[in-house]
Amino acid sequence: MRPEELIRKKRDAGALTREEIFFLIEHYTRDAIPDYQMAAWLMAVFWRGMTPAETADLTEAMMRSGQVLDLSELPGAKVDKHSTGGVGDKTSLVIAPVVAAAGLPVPMISGRGLGHTGGTLDKLEAIPGFNVRLTLPEFRRALAEVGCALIGQTAEIAPADRKLYALRDVTATVESIPLITASILSKKLAEGIDALVLDVKVGSGAFMKDRESATRLARSLQEIGTRMGKRVVALLTNMDQVLGRAVGNALEVEEAVAVLKGEEREDLRALCRQLCAWMLVLGGAAQTLEEGGQRYDELVRSGAAAEKFRQIIARQGGDPRVVDDPRRLPQARERRDFPAPASGYLARMDAERIGRAAMVLGAGRARVEDAIDPAVGLVLHKKVGERMEQGEPLATLYFNHAERLADASARLEGAFRVEPSPPKPTPLVFETLT
């Protein structure tokens, strides 16, 4: 087999066989195919697409390019959740302890934030001492002891994805449904899970801005995951406004803990409850979604979910006292209110602009190698549909570098639309693909 033949075959809209796909991925992972040939093949895939069978083979080849955890010695179905990324999305910090408290192991390998979207690892690292860099044997031990462990991708997990993603990033081949599907699923399925809940975000703060492309991605993820023998559900959820009210790492941990302890927090609590209910159903810990939701309520009300989060934090070297005293989280030195531009109802927010405002304060990174400041970010005082009076605080910015404030405030200027009458409510979950 020769790479140029496989590039030509895909260029001419052919479907590659399983052997051909495994050949490309295995050889590329061990540097036996150069970047220029792989880049040409990726561009051919970008234009020609892949059949579901090819996408499943690509996912499997990428997953098998590294270690695939076998967690069969742990009792219960292993379940996880993956979000395609949004602004203020701290659901993993709530969901992982709740589902682990229900007795299902949660092996969660997460990512970092980039651009306007946040990442679970950065949020966890805002907890003093929390170590996300466990080796796979340590990950497995932590999982066996407390029922949940949260770490970053290691060199052993799907190395093909690491190489391919870097190449896609510089060859304009990221936005391809089969390539995104294989990238996400190869990493998640290497965790040794039995079931996966996918939260595919759509809207101003999401990677997919329109409903049609988000639906295509959700369908592809659900179909390929199922083909690979896993129980998979994909929810298409609203990312037209910040999820919850906090954006920024320590601020988001504080908000996640509040939800874990039963505070309302609107859409954030509702989405956590629904995602958990699905995880419990797929993992066999609840018969119906309704029962899953009730289980969530009980675990939160009894304090079992918060206690599980303390255990997870302590097991990974962090300070569990943050669960009871958020002042132990990093605190910004200064804060400044951002006033409402007019009186009326908040009709729309541009979640991406808000995410970028938090990023310029230091909460996120523009490039992978940038450092972040865990203490900074912003908290919104209004959600879409709420009334406000001109000049009252619409948000509070938390910062350590005053020279960044003007840029952050300028980004917020155009991020809110105020109208005289309340907007039509939009659903939190648009569609659920089972």
Q: How far is the CB of 338 from ligand URA (least distance, A)?
A: 31
Residue window 156-175: x/- pattern of binding to ligand URA, with contact defined by CB under 6 A: ---------x--------x-
Cβ closer to ligand URA: 21 or 184?
184
Note if 123 is an active site residue. Answer: no
Work out whether 180 is an interface residue with ligand URA (CB under 6 A): yes
Which ranges of 235-389 does DSSP label H, i.e. alpha helix? 249-260, 266-282, 289-301, 304-315, 351-358
Largest CA distance in the chain: 68
The alpha carbon of 270 is separated from its chain's Cα centroid by a whole number of angstroms, namely 17
The alpha carbon of 170 is separated from its chain's Cα centroid by a whole number of angstroms, namely 22
Cβ closer to ligand URA: 13 or 166?
166
Half-sphere exposure of 213 (CA within 13 A, CB side): 14
Asked if 16 and 53 touch (Cβ cutoff 8 Å), the reply is: no
Catalytic hit among 78, 82, 123, 219:
82
Which window, 36-44, 65-73, 176-184, 370-378, contacts ligand URA (CB under 6 A)?
176-184
Length of the chain: 434
Residue window 114-153: x/- pattern of binding to ligand URA, with contact defined by CB under 6 A: ----------------------------------------
Cβ closer to ligand URA: 59 or 311?
59
Q: How far is the CB of 303 from ligand URA (least distance, A)?
A: 34
In angstroms, the CA 220 to CA 224 distance is 6
Asked if 232 and 430 touch (Cβ cutoff 8 Å), the reply is: no
Catalytic hit among 65, 110, 183, 204:
183
Note if 336 is an active site residue. Answer: no
Q: How far is the CB of 179 from ligand URA (least distance, A)?
A: 6
Coil vs helix vs strand at 357: helix
Q: How far is the CB of 85 from ligand URA (least distance, A)?
A: 7
Determine the Cα angle at 305 with ends 304 and 310, to 5°. 95
Catalytic hit among 10, 163, 168, 353:
168
Q: How far is the CB of 194 from ligand URA (least distance, A)?
A: 21
Q: How far is the CB of 63 from ligand URA (least distance, A)?
A: 13
Beta bridge partners of 336: 397
Cβ closer to ligand URA: 170 or 406?
170
Work out whether 200 is an interface residue with ligand URA (CB under 6 A): no
Catalytic hit among 162, 163, 187, 353:
187
Determine the Cα angle at 188 with ends 77 and 316, to 5°. 75
Measure Cα distances from 276 to 78, 219, 229, 297, 299 in Å: 13, 20, 21, 10, 11
Work out whether 183 is an interface residue with ligand URA (CB under 6 A): yes
Cβ closer to ligand URA: 58 or 357?
58
Asked if 68 and 189 touch (Cβ cutoff 8 Å), the reply is: yes
Note if 27 is an active site residue. Answer: no
Cβ closer to ligand URA: 165 or 430?
165
Q: How far is the CB of 111 from ligand URA (least distance, A)?
A: 7
Q: Which stretch of DSSP H or E encloses residue 411?
A: helix 405-413
Asked if 248 and 164 touch (Cβ cutoff 8 Å), the reply is: no
Residue position matching structure tokens 């001109």: 390
Residue position matching structure tokens 């230091």: 362
Q: Which stretch of DSSP H or E encloses residue 58?
A: helix 52-63
Cβ closer to ligand URA: 181 or 249?
181
Which window, 179-187, 214-222, 272-280, 322-330, contacts ligand URA (CB under 6 A)?
179-187
Q: How far is the CB of 183 from ligand URA (least distance, A)?
A: 3
Note if 161 is an active site residue. Answer: yes
* Bridge-based pairing state of the strands 377-380 and 246-247: antiparallel
Cβ closer to ligand URA: 162 or 356?
162
For the chain, the straight-line distance linking the first and the last C-alpha, in angstroms and rounded, comes to 38
Note if 82 is an active site residue. Answer: yes
User: Which residues are part of the catalytic machinery?
Assistant: 82, 161, 168, 183, 187
Q: List contacts with ligand URA (CB under 6 A).
A: 165, 174, 179-180, 183-184
